[in-house]
Amino acid sequence: MGAEETLSGQGSPKNKKIKTPERLAESIGITFNDINILKQALTHSSYVNENPALNSMDHNERLEFLGDSVVGLAVCDYLFRKFPTYQEGELTKIKSLVVSKPVLAELGRRLKLGDYLLLGHGEEVSGGRRRDSLLANAFESIVGAIYLDNDLDTVSAFVLSFLGEIIQNTLDSKEHRDYKTNLQEYSQKHFKVTPRYKIVKTEGPDHARVYHVEVRLPNDILGVGQGNSKKEAEQMAARSAFLEVEK
């Protein structure tokens, strides 16, 4: 099979060139033992329904169901290990922001999954290749396929190669609780001073540096935190302090 295949069956417009599963596997850096499972992950139910002669082909809805859970597991495992002081409610909030259809659709768009989907004629002409729901579902289906064909470590690394950055962006965004801002507002209101942060220790190699930070309010150490960046460590120290003053 070449780099592209021309699909002229009932389910796709004539001469519409769809990029092959092999090309997608190469672009995402995953080696599949059975490339057919990736092809299934890219096959929409409309394509199967409009091509009854393809009675041996299955669509991607079962893989989507599996991939949804695998994405959730990869993110939950990462959050659980990365943020040992976060309570269940905070972890749930971060996960819900990260593992959302708009986010997964954007990942599908980034991977150009619309170029690889096998769609029925109706989905094709109605713009299915650009539709958020189809792109998000396709991303989940691919995750399910990677999990079945490889292993949990491989698929987790794949998921987190995209969502790890999004998790950090979520922590830095207004959508997630900004403890440094909360603590500063509290301190200025009650003490008329700004919290002071101090790095008390650094450890680890350059590529995996861990910073330990304490925050004083006004002169007492009210919270400590650690992280892989000064910003993250200060945020964790502020969280520790703010939860203390909230009591």
Could you tell me how many residues make up the chain?
A: 247
Report the distance separating Cα 170 and Cα 162, nearest Å: 13
Given 50, 68, 149, 232, the catalytic residue: 68
Pick left, alpha or beta for residue 15 (phi over 0 → left; psi -120 to 50 → alpha; otherwise beta). Answer: left
d(CA 117, CA 124): 10
64 has catalytic annotation: no
- Name the token pair of 15: 């001469």
149 is annotated as an active-site residue: no
Three-state DSSP class for residue 202: strand
From the candidates 140, 149, 232, 234, give the one annotated as an active-site residue: 140
Closest CA relative to residue 134, chosen from 121, 122, 120, 117: 117
Longest dimension (CA), the chain: 77
Q: Are 215 and 235 in contact (CB under 8 A)?
A: no
Structure tokens at 129: 């290749």
Strands (E), 100-237: 196-203, 210-216, 221-227
Spatial distance between the Cα atoms of 228 and 211, rounded to a whole number of angstroms: 6
Which residues are known to be catalytic?
68, 140
